[in-house]
Amino acid sequence: MTERVLGTDTSHWTGSINFDTMYNAGAKFWITKATDANKYTGIQFEDSKFMEFSRAAFQHDKILTGCYHWLQLSVDPKVAADYYLERYKRFYFDFPPILDFEEHRVIDTLRFSDYAWRAQVWLDHVAQKTGRKPIIYTAKWFMDYFKIEHVSWMSEYPLWVADYTWTSNTLGYPTRMPKPWTKQTVWQFSADGNKRGAEFGTGAVDIDLNWFDGSLNDLLVFSGSEIILEPEPSPSVILPSLKVIKNVFVRTTPSTAIKEIATRYPGEVVKVLEIKSFNPVSVWVRDERGWSAVVHYGVRYME
């Protein structure tokens, strides 16, 4: 059987999460809902559990992380993308940005080409702002409504496919592959009705379960999560000193979701005790005062 890595995905419907239990049950990655909008009014909202779950996951500091946006017809896609990115950049998610492409109202209104266009604008904008190629979550039942000329471009993006044929599937891979893809990156193989929520530390009865297609090392490479963990440096390793070139906050942990405790000003020299690289666009260092960003999404604070 091919190598694969188990993970979960959640939203406010999950209720609560114990990340120690989730990780010990075998989940090596976790993805949660970040943003959505009212399908009629276009009023955008953050998932009510996004901050609580994300803080807990980053404090846990073992499970790989990601978050997604549910695409609606009612919002300008660039506006929706920026709203999502404000949440995505609060933390240092391992997974690239993720777009949930499955809004039922598209079927009711027959606005298939419009919805595909909105996805393309959202994805292009997010890729440009983050330097990362987003993932598309969808399923065959939904993609079957679209003409291939409207969605053929999607094959350039990694697929997270929903296909719940696991219990009757002896092949070990999804059998309901949506066009235009021929292969998935992540497979959501189990969801409602599995009664495995408690096993994975959630307050809900059921839990969405996923396979990443590859080894744990493949997942680390895919997510850009070459994290420098926290071993004590050997005597032969000399960590650098960096000079602050732009005002930057000091925090107790390497996350903008944590309130700042001080500010560093241009000219200050930071004698580095520890380095963490969370993804290709975010690097943090720690000295005796605490953690600060060296570079974050194109903004450089130290050299």
- Of 117, 184, 176, 190, which is closest to residue 147 (Cα–Cα)? 117
pLDDT over 70 at 166, yes or no: no
Q: In this predicted structure, what is the pLDDT of residue 161?
A: 97
Give the pLDDT confidence of 94-110 residue by residue, as tens digits. Answer: 999 999 999 999 999 99
Based on the number of CB atoms within 10 Å of its own CB, is 193 exposed (0-12), middle (13-18) or buried (19 or more)? exposed
Residue type, position 126, single letter: V
Integer Cα distance of 54 and 63 in angstroms: 11
Q: What is the pLDDT of residue 105?
A: 96
- CATH 3.40.50.300 is held by the domain 4-223: no
For residue 239, what pLDDT is reported?
A: 73
The predicted model gives 17-28 an average pLDDT of 96
Mean pLDDT score, 275-284 = 75
**Tell me, what's the pLDDT at 297?**
74
C-beta separation of 230 from 61 below 8 A: no
Q: Please, which pLDDT band fits residue 232 given cuts at 50, 70 and 90?
A: very low
Give the C-alpha distances (Å, rounded to integers) separating 229 from 101, 109, 133, 251, 286: 35, 50, 25, 18, 13
Residue 20 pLDDT > 60: yes
pLDDT band for 286, please (50, 70, 90 cuts): very high
Query: What residue spans of the chain are helical by DSSP H?
Result: 19-24, 50-60, 77-88, 105-109, 112-130, 140-143, 148-151, 216-223
Query: How many H helices and E strands in the chain?
Result: 8, 17
pLDDT of residue 262: 92
What local confidence, expressed as pLDDT, does residue 299 receive? 86
